[in-house]
Structure 1
Amino acid sequence: MKRRTLLKFAALVTAASVMPLPAFADTHQAQDKSYMTVLGQKIAYVDEGEGRPVVFLHGNPASSYLWRNIIPHLSATHRVIAPDLIGMGDSDKPVLENTYADSAEYMFTFLDALDLKDAVLVIHDWGSGLGWHYARTRPERVSAIAFMEAMTPGFIPYESYESLGDFAEFVHNVNTPGVGEEMIMNQNILLDQFMRYGSPNGPLSDEVMAEYNRYYPTAESRKILLDWPREIPIAGEPADVYEVATANNAWLLASDLPKLMFHVDPGAILPMAQAEYLQKNLNNLETVFLGQGGHFVQEDYPDEIGKALAEWLMRF
């Protein structure tokens, strides 16, 4: 299945889905956060439980709030850590010169300061790019990775705009001066359209969207949401992200780390065809097909993800 633009994908989402009986009641409330000063800026993070650390890394345009209904499945038996990326959520929002490189420096410094051992990463969207990068460069700290709607071989880097298929229209518009600002900063399409209408269970509630939007009260505050898609590497640019993505892909295809992949149909950046490719080509991979879904699978299937993570972690 071709990748759709964000707007086309949102328009095609249907409401047909079976709602599972949750083991934990879904909540709209944000969890309490701790703060650590990193490179002169505060990083906000959820830190609950004790035991083997499990680190949840969100992407764009989300925050640690994305994991709120999954964390309770693990926090009774593990130490669960869910940071807000720099510039996002309740973390400080400095001006970043290079979005990916600066975000990686803040996040890796934060994670190193926790002195994690035998950690499990649970990653999504740009959090997956950061997560693969961290695991690749800190093999002594990370012992397993679970991922969903993640950046994997075949998705990035792209050799040309043409290789993006239908996704090219969105990326081209984002990279066009003035057009990207109008779409993401002024119209707020990533939150108010793509995220809100990306669930097959229907639109996310006003209460949930109020929390996701709380961090971005003005158009200018949403610049970080625009900066992230402008980091998608195409034809070698941005060179630093292209290099990281290439290295991540090569490492991932060779790695024997235990991996758990969650996927849905049609998905957005990890469609069925991509999931099948990864099943054939990744070592030590287990998979969980969740059902019909979009990009924000954590909103669609928190109970299923939480249960599967807990069961997977009991085995090693």
Structure 2
Amino acid sequence: MTVHHTAQLNGVKQHYVVAGSGPAVLLLHGWPQTWHEWRHVIDALAGDFTVVAPDLRGFGYSGKPASGYDAETYAADLAALLEHLDLHDVTVVGHDWGAVFGYVLAAAHPERVSALGIVEMALPGLGMMEQAMAPVADGNFLWHMGFQSVPDLPELLIAGKERPYLRWFFEHFAYDPSAITEADLDEYVAAITQTGALRAGLAVYQEFFRSAEQVKARSATPLDIPVRAYGGEACLGGLTLATAQAVAPAAEGGVIERCGHWAAEERPDFVSDLVRDLAKG
């Protein structure tokens, strides 16, 4: 059974869910999602693991303060959550921006993180993500990374159109668009239309360059824990592993077949197996 909790940690209200018992697993969502993206993976893992899935600062039912949307602050939020729950030797798996924050958490707090999974994200600050932002035909590039980093204007243009805007991402970057149902879209639209949520989510992109510098600085000390990195065949593909190997040269992984960006929902079987593999050490 998934149980909801809320705690005031690192100066922000953190909402998180916990399910199961056993070795600890921390699942970190991306934009524009919440803990909800992990629902299928949680169901698959809860029989063998203690699974923790927070709403990150600015998302879901967590607080939406005016600042703190850079990678180091998110890592501090997550370290405070692990301390609050007295969890050590945690297998951390992040998707999208959650993977960036998970990486910085692992780099900053090696005493807490035993293994890291990076799913469908190219780490910023290493040059490869930045190349993927360069324009190509038919919108098949990461145009939103730049657009959403502009102060004020994206919120003005997206407000009132959140549903079709999110639908475009869930359809365009998917291999199987049916993996995100209308009910799931309802969930994500409800989350992003909460007071302050659109502003807060866009703040992650406005801090892109600061987070990129933080990742670059951390990459000077390679991770020496097990790292697995996978991109979906219909989205980032091998780019995810390439950027992971820039911060953890021994990282393994590759491409998830029949999968786009939304791996935890398109291929929860694969992601669940990835967690199990990492947790085995």
TM tier, smaller? 0.7 to 0.9
The aligned counterpart of 2:159 is: 185
1:81 aligned to which of 34, 52, 56: 52
Return 43-52 or 198-207, whichever deviates more: 198-207
Q: Which whole-Å deviations, capped at 9, do the CAs of 1:170-206 have from their partners, x for residues lacking one?
A: 3443344554124443432652321254322224211
The aligned counterpart of 1:96 is: 66
* Structure 2 alignment gaps of length 5 or more: 136-140
The aligned counterpart of 2:177 is: 202
Amino acid at match of 2:148: V
Structure 1 length normalisation: TM-score?
Answer: 0.75
**How far apart are the structure 1 equivalents of 2:278 and 2:214?**
28
- Aligned pairs for 1:221-300 within 5 A: 221-233=197-209, 238=210, 241-251=211-221, 254-267=222-235, 270-273=236-239, 275=241, 282-287=248-253, 289-300=255-266
Structure 2 length normalisation: TM-score?
Answer: 0.83
**Do 1:96 and 1:102's aligned partners in 2 also have CA atoms closer than 8 Å?**
no
* Structure 1 alignment gaps of length 5 or more: 1-29
Per-residue deviation at 1:306? 1.0
Amino acid at match of 2:261: H
- SS of aligned partner of 2:174: coil
Q: Which whole-Å deviations, capped at 9, do the CAs of 1:140-194 have from their partners, x for residues lacking one?
A: 1111111111243xx4355997883125753443344554124443432652321
Per-residue deviation at 1:126? 1.5
Q: Which whole-Å deviations, capped at 9, do the CAs of 1:1-51 have from their partners, x for residues lacking one?
A: xxxxxxxxxxxxxxxxxxxxxxxxxxxxx9541222224543111111222
The aligned counterpart of 2:144 is: 170
Pick closer, same or farther for the CA change 1:87–1:259 going to 2, 3 Å: same
Amino acid at match of 1:223: R
Per-residue deviation at 1:78? 1.4
**Do 1:185 and 1:226's aligned partners in 2 also have CA atoms closer than 8 Å?**
no
The aligned counterpart of 1:212 is: 188
The aligned counterpart of 2:86 is: 115
1:138 aligned to which of 105, 109, 133: 109
Cα-Cα RMSD: 3.0
**Do 2:126 and 2:243's aligned partners in 1 also have CA atoms closer than 8 Å?**
no
The yes-or-no answer on 1:304 pairing with 2:270 is yes
- SS of aligned partner of 1:134: helix
Amino acid at match of 2:134: G
Amino acid at match of 1:156: G
What is the identity percentage for the equivalent residue pairs of Structure 1 and Structure 2? 25
Q: Larger Rg: 1 or 2?
A: 1
